[in-house]
Amino acid sequence: MAQTAKTVATSRQDKDAANRKEIVRTIKGPVTERLAKIIPGLSSYDDPYNTVIRNPELLYGCLQVFAKERQLFADLLVDAAGQPVTDDDAPLKCERSINQVVGMVVRSGCKAYAESRWEKSADANAVMKAETRTLLDRIANLVRGKWSESEQPKPSPTQADKFYAAINDHLNYDWQVPLIPLFAELPVKLLLELGPGCTTLRNPDAIAQLADIGRHNMEQARRILSDDMMREMLDTQPLAAKGIAFLGKERYEFLHGAVYEKMGENFWEMCTDCNRLEIMEQKNAKDLEQIADFLHLVSAETIDQVIRLLQFQYMPVFLRIGLEKLGENKFREIFDSPANKKLIKIFCEKAASYKLDPGDPLTDFESRLPDLFGAYLRAPAAFEKGL
């Protein structure tokens, strides 16, 4: 039985290796050939595939063309029965989905870029005499034949190897390709700490902010947080480390106790803005808990005005209706950092001035808010002037 299971596992590994080999052959062959016909200048390279795979900008462009011109590759995107595959998560003939193949390409691109980024200026063997290189090869072959694998000398990992090993498990998406050169400038130790948190850094600014945080803030956050909370922060929003370090242990514990239970992982997004954290420390824990669902979306100015001008029970209703009516993009444009202080004040003051039905003030308040935000949407300039 054990032998049968081993045989099945070996057979499966052999099939998987064959599938991988076929994927690579298809990408290097038909896929690259078709892309070279579509993309101006690509066919002028002696080796289009190796040129593209080492250049994140070119690679990202090719992935975008593949996504937009999918019909040109339709004959390659079929399942085991030869039927077209249109679901990017469904298996192709190679038993991998389109998304999985894209992930393979992203990782290959990362590895090729890293090797190019850190390749030696000259191969050490290139300056050796021919007879020396021959003797080296002979000795290496003797060792491989007569010594156990654990005893055989192995080359030390290069910087490219260390970088790729730190990040490859977290590379799966085409949008990560333009970020590869930026990730390569981060310390390998930081990439290892981040783990899956690498996928939360979706733009160059976020990576620059992470680089700006510095080792001191990361270590300070580690001293303040429990192991579980540190892992959750790194996986969810590593930029929060600066905010945690800014708070210190006592102030972090106050805010964590006040709002984490209601916010969950949004707590870490809230901690990316030190101004927001500073104003929150000045507020009552009950007030913060009342608007906890929105704290990661709003600025220090918004928190201050909402808590100062609106009564306790009206605060979350105001923010909820504002988010629903304005939509998240417009809502954050006004109420998140950098805040539109004038508009925030106008909205809060108008809402606070309502003379409400004493029989059911909360329902009356909620019913009026859509008109308030609607008035702004209809004529933003006039609204801001108080007309």
Say what the pLDDT of residue 215 is: 87
Give a three-class secondary structure readout of 110-177: HHHHHHHHHCCCCCHHHHCCHHHHHHHHHHHHHHHHHCCHHHCCCCCCCHHHHHHHHHHHHCCCHHHH
pLDDT tens digits along 214-251: 889 999 999 999 999 999 999 999 999 999 999 999 99
Let me know whether 150 and 231 are in one domain: no
pLDDT tens digits along 327-367: 999 999 999 998 899 999 999 999 999 999 999 999 999 99
Alpha-carbon distance 37 to 48, whole Å? 11
What parts of the chain have a pLDDT lower than 70?
A: 1-11, 120-129, 131-133, 143, 146-147, 151-152, 387
Let me know whether 245 and 346 are in one domain: yes
Residue 222 lies in a domain: yes
pLDDT tens digits along 308-336: 999 999 999 999 999 999 999 999 999 99
CA 170, 171, 172, 178 torsion-angle sign: positive
Residue 74 lies in a domain: yes
Residue 155 lies in a domain: yes
Say what the pLDDT of residue 137 is: 75
Let me know whether 352 and 217 are in one domain: yes
Task: State the residue range of the domain holding 108.
Answer: 2-121+131-159
Let me know whether 218 and 358 are in one domain: yes
Q: Count the domains in the chain.
A: 2
pTM score: 0.77
Angle at 40 (CA atoms; ends 39, 44), nearest 5 degrees: 105
Is 320 buried (19+), middle (13-18) or exposed (0-12) by CB count in 10 A? middle
Let me know whether 252 and 297 are in one domain: yes
Structure-token match 């990439």, residue found: 191
Say what the pLDDT of residue 14 is: 76
Query: 253-283: b or e for each residue (b if 16 or more CB lie within 10 Å)?
Result: eebbebbbeebeebbbbbbbbebbbebbeeb
Q: Are 107 and 168 in contact (CB under 8 A)?
A: yes
Domain boundary among 140, 159, 178: 159
Alpha-carbon distance 29 to 187, whole Å? 36
